[in-house]
């Protein structure tokens, strides 16, 4: 397919008080192998009180605010309202997508899928914190949930914009679990979902937080 014929993609990243990790996420997204004129990066700040907005402001991305409702799903919904892509890609501020991540997800959609959800590679310290232990449990569940339940996490998710038009946005007020509800709803409605190939052998890398957060 000629570059001009490739679908335009909107990458949506919610963020809250993550000044330490958001730069790595944004830089990884701007370094994707997918043609740069065929995607946009939308970062939605959910009312950060640290230097997150200043950090994001250094990069050529769209920076939005969602302060009326606290929660990453409200932030993602704000991103959806501004997205121009026919394909939507989601990841988190604490993730570092591999360079081929976007191309692999788009290829899975273009092969006939409506949704493509993948796993996340977790990076742990030598002496894992409580937050990292929670992440390790989540990591074991992601692969099984995609395979057995047809649900996926927004740390590594692609969807056609037409799916959002058909089933609506994420559950707006939830603090967690909205991605599982939303992808489960799409699967129940008969939209075809797949697990995309791990581009370059590496899904997005999740960096552990300093502490447990609500967002």
CATH number (domain holding residue 170): 3.90.550.10
Residue 129 inside a domain? The answer is yes
Residue 17 inside a domain? The answer is yes
The reported pTM is: 0.84
For residue range 118-173, what is the model confidence (pLDDT) as tens digits?
766 656 555 655 655 555 555 545 555 555 444 567 889 999 999 999 999 999 88
Residue 124 inside a domain? The answer is yes
Please check whether residue 206 is in contact with residue 131, taking contact to mean a CB–CB distance below 8 angstroms: no
Residue 213 inside a domain? The answer is no
Structural domain boundaries enclosing 170: 3-206
- Tokens of residue 162, six digits: 């037409």
For residue range 76-100, what is the model confidence (pLDDT) as tens digits?
999 999 999 999 999 999 999 999 9
Residue 214 inside a domain? The answer is no
Name residues whose C-beta falls within 8 Å of residue 184's C-beta, 6 or more positions apart in sequence: 149, 150, 151
Residue 211 inside a domain? The answer is no
Structural domain total, the chain: 1
């Amino acid at each position: 397919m000629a570059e001009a014929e490739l679908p335009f993609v909107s990458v949506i990243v919610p963020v809250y008080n993550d000044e330490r990790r958001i730069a790595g996420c944004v830089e990884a997204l701007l370094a994707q192998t997918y043609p740069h004129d065929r995607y946009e990066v939308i970062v939605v700040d959910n009312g950060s009180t640290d230097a997150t907005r200043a950090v994001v402001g250094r990069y050529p991305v769209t920076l939005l605010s969602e302060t009326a409702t606290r929660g990453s799903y409200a932030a993602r919904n704000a991103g959806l309202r501004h997205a121009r892509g026919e394909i939507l890609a989601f990841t988190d501020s604490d993730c570092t997508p591999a360079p081929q991540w976007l191309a692999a997800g788009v290829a899975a959609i273009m092969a006939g899928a409506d949704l493509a959800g993948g796993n996340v590679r977790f990076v742990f310290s030598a002496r894992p914190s409580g937050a990292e232990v929670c992440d390790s449990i989540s990591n074991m569940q992601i692969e099984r949930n995609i395979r057995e339940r047809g649900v996926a996490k927004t740390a590594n998710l692609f969807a056609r914009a037409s799916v959002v038009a058909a089933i609506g946005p994420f559950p707006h007020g939830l603090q967690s679990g909205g991605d599982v509800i939303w992808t489960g709803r799409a699967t129940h409605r008969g939209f075809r979902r797949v697990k995309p190939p791990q581009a370059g052998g590496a899904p997005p890398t999740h960096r552990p937080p300093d502490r447990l957060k609500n967002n």
